[in-house]
Copies of this chain bind each other. A is one copy, B any other.
Amino acid sequence: MTGTGTQAAEKPRRRQARGERRIEQLLEAAAQVFQEVGYPAASTNGIARAAGVSPGTLYQFFPNKEALAVELGRRLMAELEQTHGRVLSGADTTRPLAEILDTVLDPLIAFNLGHPAFFVLIHGPEAPGEIVSDHEELHAVLQQQITDLVARRAPDLPIPELDRVSVMAFAIFRAGLALVMHSDGAQREGYIVELKSALHRYLAPVLGS
């Protein structure tokens, strides 16, 4: 796949090492600003300033603000899979439910705590009229992985119920994750336990203990 010019032939844009470094700086700055003020309130000029470059330089590498968020999401998603393995799709669905939840949720929570921008990106853009493909894809990928996980655990579940349960489970996860993210110390530990309890109790009747 990484061979000479197989897929990336559409953009023969040659990039210097300096450019690659700038891209990293910009994404890092974007992550910082996103988590500080949220995606909608984050300004491209502010991101450029945080990266120590001019606005023009930002647009040398990213066509617009959305592209910044999309690429950041891509990288975070890749890093999630790299550092924690295939968390969702690799889970052993024959284990007890509580164990599955631990092995799935702990890495996800840890990753979100370590990369708060990820949490910002999987929370909808709030404005309904936004360009749909914004963070929607990140959301959809995670949702699909959860649905697959549930389907593997309960293969005989009718499709509509499978979808409903999976969507609800993801919603509960995001809601609980928000509580975890906005607390700290002992409280945070408490919410983590609470989130696991909520999901366990919700899923046990459907997936078995």
Bound-complex Cα distance A128 to B168 (A):
26
CB-defined interface of A155-183 with B at 8 Å, one 1/0 digit per residue?
00000100011011001101110110000
Bound-complex Cα distance A165 to B201 (A):
13
The number of times this chain is found in the oligomer is 2
How many interface residues does A have (CB within 8 Å)?
A: 33
Q: Quick check: is A107 within 8 A (CB to CB) of the other chain?
A: no
Partner of A127, one of B40, B165, B205: B40
Q: List, in ascending order, chain B residues with CB within 8 A of A204's CB.
A: 201
Per the 8 Å Cβ criterion, residues 115-134 of A in contact with B are 123, 126-129
Per the 8 Å Cβ criterion, residues 165-209 of A in contact with B are 165, 167-168, 171-172, 174-176, 178-179, 187, 190-191, 194-195, 197-198, 201-202, 204-205
Whether A198 pairs with B190 at a CB distance below 8 angstroms is no
Partner of A171, one of B36, B165, B179, B205: B179
